[in-house]
Amino acid sequence: MKITLKRLVLGLASAGILTIYGCGGGDAAPEIVTNTENTTISGTAAAGLPLVGSVTVKDAKGVSRTTPIVANGAYSVDVTGLTAPFLFRAEGNVGGRNYIIHSAASAADANGTINITPLTDLIVANIAGELAENYFNGGNFSGMTKAELDAETASLKAKLLPVLTAMGVDSSIDLLRTGFTPLSSALDKALDVISVSVDPATDVATITNLVTQQQITDNLKTKAAAETAATPMVGEGMNTAADDLTLIRKALSDFSAKFASGLPAPGELLPLMHDTSDLPFRNADQNATQFSNQIAADNFLVGVSFTDVVIRRMNYPSTASAPADLYPRAYVEFTVRNKDGIAIDHVKNIQIAKGADGAWRLRGDNRRLDTYSHAHIVKDALSGCVSTGLEFGFEDPNTGNNGSGIKYMMVTGPGLPAPGLKYVRSAIGDHFTIKNVSSQTGRYYVLASNCTGNANAGLTDSAIAAIPDDAVYTLTAFDSADAPTLVNGEALVYKDRITRRPLTLAEAQAAAFPTITAPTATALSTYNGGDLTIAATGINLSGAWVYLGLTDSADSVNSVDTDVNATAAGSISTTLSLGAISGVKRREIRVETTDAYWRNMMTVLNDFSATP
């Protein structure tokens, strides 16, 4: 399914870089204490937004207990009978992205508050001198002391204090133990604009201010007591950021409110979008009028809400030469939920800009193409064989705004061949298709398949598993001279992030796919046009995309498709219709839904019975 808006998450992990966090430490005697009285530890698990998932506590003897994360990221775990010190692991989902973050507690923290955030993960990593995840898995932390925790917490706070106070955080905060409320407190706003990544090859953490783009580094292997005085991250340029975060989210809620009880008139949406000569609106190659006309007619959006809003980056005015760059902009991602609160899309790459009048409004994705990127897994309904890969889509509804012109697109990134995939405009100007990979000519790049005769790249399961989650792919336009397409003197280059890697073949064979229950293969074999009811089960509550196609002897394809809402039981039924044609040589039904991480899961039913 595809909604015409597009969504951010803190801690961007580029290829080969794992998201985590780091600081300093010290040495003291071990503090191993077994809690014999009723004891709990509670807190908040959040990564810019509250996590949806669970918290596991592991004690000094390797005993672990797991508890669910409840509303607004809150958790509480019973540590009675467990032996301090403790490590905590919060694992959960934020808007389609999976997080694993850690924290720690000493015996003195019994019946107290312990936060689990990217910043506490950083504290644990620097106590460990390695990734916090490895420290937790290894279980060798019985010697961790309260003094170490306090030293590393204070060291991290000193590095970040100018930014924290600029965001309204009290200077006395304890990043490990001071309680906070996601989506409202000052600390949560600070988490929105601080990103931390670690290069696992060097164990060096990079902390980035997403507003000013300032970066500082921290060697995980250097304890706090051994650190030289580090220059803290500056707070200048952050004076309006805390208030702006609230206004950015309000711009989205104001827009979705127009669909609260029905479809708005297109004119009601236009005031909520920037569309001036120096700050034009563009989304999927549509201008503001085209975009508002389209979504104001989409019944799927009645009652819609935009949730889990995360700021991927913020740009404030600089000396940039392009007029649009002189306005503050936020790059956001969010979840689209229907009237029943069910997530139906995961939207990326949207810009929200602050115009000359000081108002934040939607600016769209600012792309001169309609693009999409996702992991794509396919199952054959008859044989049960599976294929796994990546699909990239390009359409160019408006060829008049492409500068030096777009002849083809090159896609590079993890799992793709070294020169990249070359997507060439089709003769009829529809979707661009692959042209530089033998036997792969569609939009879908098949990494591996166990289907007989199905062309694929032949990647092993280990090679597919090595593709990182949140992998970033670069989409570059080229003109007829095989030079990068230039628009106003700048190359036309986009970045897309795919939330979760494709499944391995072993994972795909065990995965849940839609089951097509109607028509049967026998009934499909006699279909040559007219109405056809298609039904399926195993549908994610986000709904399904359903396709019906007929191919004649001249390889001309007649097709129709639609989005369908799922029932509470995960089933769909819809009737599609095609005009009758003669000489049918292929009949095809596709039913596609998503998994919990927005991978597309498709079942295909084909019939190749020729009809005179």
**pLDDT tens for residues 336-385?**
999 999 999 999 999 999 998 999 999 999 999 999 999 999 999 999 99
Domain boundary among 509, 532, 557: 509
Q: Are residues 457 and 393 in the same domain?
A: yes
Considering only CA atoms, give the Rg of the chain: 26
**pLDDT, tens digit (0-9, with 9 covering 90-100), for 533-586:** 999 999 999 999 999 999 998 888 999 999 999 999 999 999 999 999 889 999
Q: Are residues 564 and 596 in the same domain?
A: yes
Domain boundary among 486, 509, 532: 509
Give 560: exposed, middle or buried? Use CB within 10 Å, 0-12, 13-18, 19+. Answer: middle
Q: Are residues 79 and 48 in the same domain?
A: yes
In a domain, 5, yes or no: no
The fraction of the chain above a pLDDT of 90, given in percent, is 72
In a domain, 13, yes or no: no
Most confident of 211-225, 404-418, 424-438: 404-418
Q: What's the CATH code of the domain at 301? A: 3.10.450
Query: Nearest 5°: CA angle at 143, between 142 and 145?
Result: 110
Q: What is the pLDDT of residue 13?
A: 32
Q: What's the CATH code of the domain at 557? A: 2.60.40.10
173: phi then psi, degrees, rounded to nearest 5: -60, 145
Task: Identify which of 264, 282, 349, 344 has the alpha carbon closest to the alpha carbon of residue 312.
Answer: 349
Q: Are residues 502 and 398 in the same domain?
A: yes
Domain, as residue range, for 488: 370-509
**pLDDT, tens digit (0-9, with 9 covering 90-100), for 107-141:** 999 999 999 999 999 999 999 999 999 999 999 99
Among left, alpha and beta (phi > 0; psi -120 to 50; other), residue 382 is: alpha
Give yes or no for residue 25 having a pLDDT over 60.
no
In a domain, 494, yes or no: yes
Average pLDDT over all residues of the chain: 89
Domain boundary among 509, 537, 572: 509
**For range 457-479, the mean pLDDT:** 96
In a domain, 7, yes or no: no
| Token pair for 12 | 């961007």
The 3-state DSSP class for residue 528 equals: coil
In a domain, 443, yes or no: yes
Q: What is the pLDDT of residue 261?
A: 95
Q: Report the interhelical angle of 186-193 vs 146-166 (nearest 10°).
A: 90
Task: Identify which of 187, 290, 413 has the alpha carbon closest to the alpha carbon of residue 273.
Answer: 290
Give yes or no for residue 1 having a pLDDT over 50.
no
Q: Are residues 496 and 528 in the same domain?
A: no
**pLDDT, tens digit (0-9, with 9 covering 90-100), for 241-295:** 888 988 999 999 999 999 999 999 999 999 999 999 889 999 999 999 999 999 9
In a domain, 411, yes or no: yes
In a domain, 201, yes or no: no
3-state SS string over 22-91?
A: CCCCCCCCCCCEECCCCCEEEEEEECCCECEEEEEEECCCCCEEEEECCHHHEEEEECCCCEECEEEEEE
Q: Are residues 296 and 322 in the same domain?
A: yes
The tally of domains found in the chain comes to 4
| Token pair for 551 | 């191919």
Q: 133, 147 in Cβ contact below 8 A?
A: no
Q: Are residues 424 and 324 in the same domain?
A: no
DSSP 229-254: PPPPPP-TT-TTHHHHHHHHHHHHHH
Q: What is the pLDDT of residue 94?
A: 76
Q: Are residues 264 and 388 in the same domain?
A: no
Chain centre to alpha carbon of residue 270: 27
Q: How far is it, in rounded angstroms, from Cα 95 to Cα 524?
A: 38
Give yes or no for residue 18 having a pLDDT over 80.
no
| Token pair for 579 | 């005009």
Q: Are residues 51 and 179 in the same domain?
A: yes
Q: Are residues 589 and 505 in the same domain?
A: no
Give yes or no for residue 7 having a pLDDT over 50.
no
| pTM of the predicted model as reported, rounded to 2 decimal places | 0.83
Q: Are residues 501 and 544 in the same domain?
A: no
| Token pair for 261 | 């009880």
Give 229: exposed, middle or buried? Use CB within 10 Å, 0-12, 13-18, 19+. Answer: exposed
Q: Are residues 73 and 181 in the same domain?
A: yes
Q: Predicted confidence band at 236 (pLDDT cuts at 50, 70, 90)? A: confident
In a domain, 596, yes or no: yes
